[in-house]
A and B are shown apart, each in its own frame.
Chain A
């Protein structure tokens, strides 16, 4: 499955060495699984797992007006962001379509780190560059940095074994700098799995050393290297959206059910006018989570959704939930959408199977 146009991360040799199955993803050759999606998923839910996230992009905006400018470019409130903290936010086009969803960290008073989706790096950078304000510098440092996500209930023990008992994990959504064998790392208490965890960013040439240290330190904790397959089942159980599937320039954050990260009280940001209009006229569709009833094939993206004879929408995400043992998914459905507990039907290879609308998240820790 090689693809000459795809890029590889600085950890590619490690993945191949571990026997990972490699797939193209967002322009990158990435591990989809090392052993089994089920086992990797359970390792994150019950112990700890490590993911290569070096494909993700890092943009750095700096300057005295950087915060003010980002507030006009992104949906969440940059003004609220203290140094050393991060927030989930959206980059929208003029029609309020989602260019990207990202985490914005204020790493210094006048310096911001944007961690963006791999497949959107060029679009994000191009869009921001073309809307740049005076006295703001924007750099694309994606090739310079690599990263890993360490996720699972035993992350604290792993952190202590790496950095020593005196160092403390940053608080939820906070980011701080640490040193490991002379290598500088930024550690953020964030993740995409619903478990406690960290995302760690560092210079690309440190990547193999850091990866090996994490694997070594995690050995006694049941740590597993985890691929994109487990990343997808973990995030979908939490109803975290996947860019390119659940989010795209054809969708806005309100219909995606993510209005919490959109501050419409801000006087100005790209897409605001359109979102206000949408809100006034009413949304035409909404992204809703559901589960399958009984023994059914796993639901998958693009399967059609029915209510009675009416086709009411299409799945953007679907899988068999390894934690729950039944099919789960998210679909954009025409408004008014059925309420939690109400039934829908999902068409799978020409046959309709029953599903039930659920609330977020689909999986709650016992």
Chain B
């Protein structure tokens, strides 16, 4: 499984790319492989506020719908509209074109509890 060194990771298999007080979020290579065949993504609304660990998006495979959580408290700045017409980008490029949303963080210190690449990799066993 591909686990890039420059990202942070959540227990629930989201990746986080930090840029100042903004974060870009998607699901990990491991998560997309577990889900397989993403067929629909329900994107968050731009401008909507979200609590940490609240459901912010839904990724659906043929078999099941999976909730995606906001890693920290914040407001949605961008949602990846490309996923509406091509949800499989999550499978083909989970850390790149398959990103899901950008969040403006209320409190960047909430990132302190996140896993680094080594910790995430070892959690996968």
Q: Which residues of A contact B (CB under 8 A)?
A: 32-33, 36-38, 229, 233, 295-298, 300, 319-320, 322, 349
When the two chains form their complex, are residues A322 and B62 in contact, meaning their CB atoms are under 8 A apart?
Answer: yes
* CB neighbours of B36 from chain A (8 A): 33, 36-37
Q: Which residues of B contact A (CB under 8 A)?
A: 36-37, 39-40, 42, 58, 60-63, 65, 84
When the two chains form their complex, are residues B62 and A37 in contact, meaning their CB atoms are under 8 A apart?
Answer: yes
When the two chains form their complex, are residues B63 and A297 in contact, meaning their CB atoms are under 8 A apart?
Answer: no
When the two chains form their complex, are residues A320 and B42 in contact, meaning their CB atoms are under 8 A apart?
Answer: no
* CB neighbours of A33 from chain B (8 A): 36, 63
Pick from B60, B63, B65: contact of A32, CB under 8 Å: B63
27 A–B contacts from the bound complex (CB under 8 Å): A32-B63, A33-B63, A36-B36, A36-B37, A37-B37, A37-B61, A37-B62, A37-B63, A38-B37, A38-B62, A229-B62, A233-B62, A296-B40, A297-B40, A297-B42, A297-B58, A297-B65, A298-B39, A298-B40, A298-B60, A298-B65, A300-B65, A319-B62, A319-B63, A320-B39, A320-B62, A322-B62
* CB neighbours of A349 from chain B (8 A): 42, 58
State in angstroms the CA–CA spacing of A297 and B62 once bound together: 10
Cβ-closest chain B residue relative to A35:
B36
Closest 7 CB pairs of A and B: A37-B62, A320-B39, A38-B37, A297-B40, A36-B36, A36-B37, A229-B63
Q: How far is the CB of B90 from chain A (nearest CB, A)?
A: 14
* Total of A-B residue pairs, C-beta within 8 Å: 37
Cβ-closest chain A residue relative to B40:
A297
State in angstroms the CA–CA spacing of A70 and B114 once bound together: 63
* CB neighbours of B84 from chain A (8 A): 295
State in angstroms the CA–CA spacing of A233 and B62 once bound together: 8
When the two chains form their complex, are residues A298 and B42 in contact, meaning their CB atoms are under 8 A apart?
Answer: no
Cβ-closest chain A residue relative to B39:
A320
State in angstroms the CA–CA spacing of A233 and B37 once bound together: 13
Cβ-closest chain A residue relative to B34:
A21
Q: How far is the CB of A305 from chain B (nearest CB, A)?
A: 18
State in angstroms the CA–CA spacing of A33 and B33 once bound together: 12
Cβ-closest chain B residue relative to A300:
B65
Cβ-closest chain B residue relative to A229:
B63
* CB neighbours of B63 from chain A (8 A): 32-33, 37, 229, 319
State in angstroms the CA–CA spacing of A37 and B42 once bound together: 21
Cβ-closest chain B residue relative to A325:
B39
Q: How far is the CB of A353 from chain B (nearest CB, A)?
A: 11
Taking A32-B63, A298-B39, A319-B62 as known contacts, 8 extra A-B pairs with beta carbons closer than 8 A to each other, sorted by chain A number, are A33-B36, A37-B62, A38-B37, A297-B58, A298-B65, A319-B63, A320-B40, A349-B58
Cβ-closest chain A residue relative to B55:
A349
* CB neighbours of B65 from chain A (8 A): 297-298, 300
State in angstroms the CA–CA spacing of A322 and B62 once bound together: 8
State in angstroms the CA–CA spacing of A32 and B40 once bound together: 20
Cβ-closest chain B residue relative to A23:
B63
Cβ-closest chain B residue relative to A233:
B62
State in angstroms the CA–CA spacing of A37 and B37 once bound together: 7
State in angstroms the CA–CA spacing of A297 and B61 once bound together: 10
* CB neighbours of A233 from chain B (8 A): 62
State in angstroms the CA–CA spacing of A362 and B123 once bound together: 43
Q: How far is the CB of A38 from chain B (nearest CB, A)?
A: 5
State in angstroms the CA–CA spacing of A349 and B58 once bound together: 10
State in angstroms the CA–CA spacing of A337 and B60 once bound together: 29
**Max count, chain A CB within 10 A of own CB: residue among B37, B42, B58, B60:** B37
State in angstroms the CA–CA spacing of A32 and B37 once bound together: 13
State in angstroms the CA–CA spacing of A349 and B84 once bound together: 17
State in angstroms the CA–CA spacing of A33 and B62 once bound together: 11
* CB neighbours of A36 from chain B (8 A): 36-37
Q: How far is the CB of A49 from chain B (nearest CB, A)?
A: 15
Q: How far is the CB of A290 from chain B (nearest CB, A)?
A: 17
Q: How far is the CB of A354 from chain B (nearest CB, A)?
A: 16
* CB neighbours of A296 from chain B (8 A): 40
Q: How far is the CB of A227 from chain B (nearest CB, A)?
A: 10
Cβ-closest chain B residue relative to A41:
B62
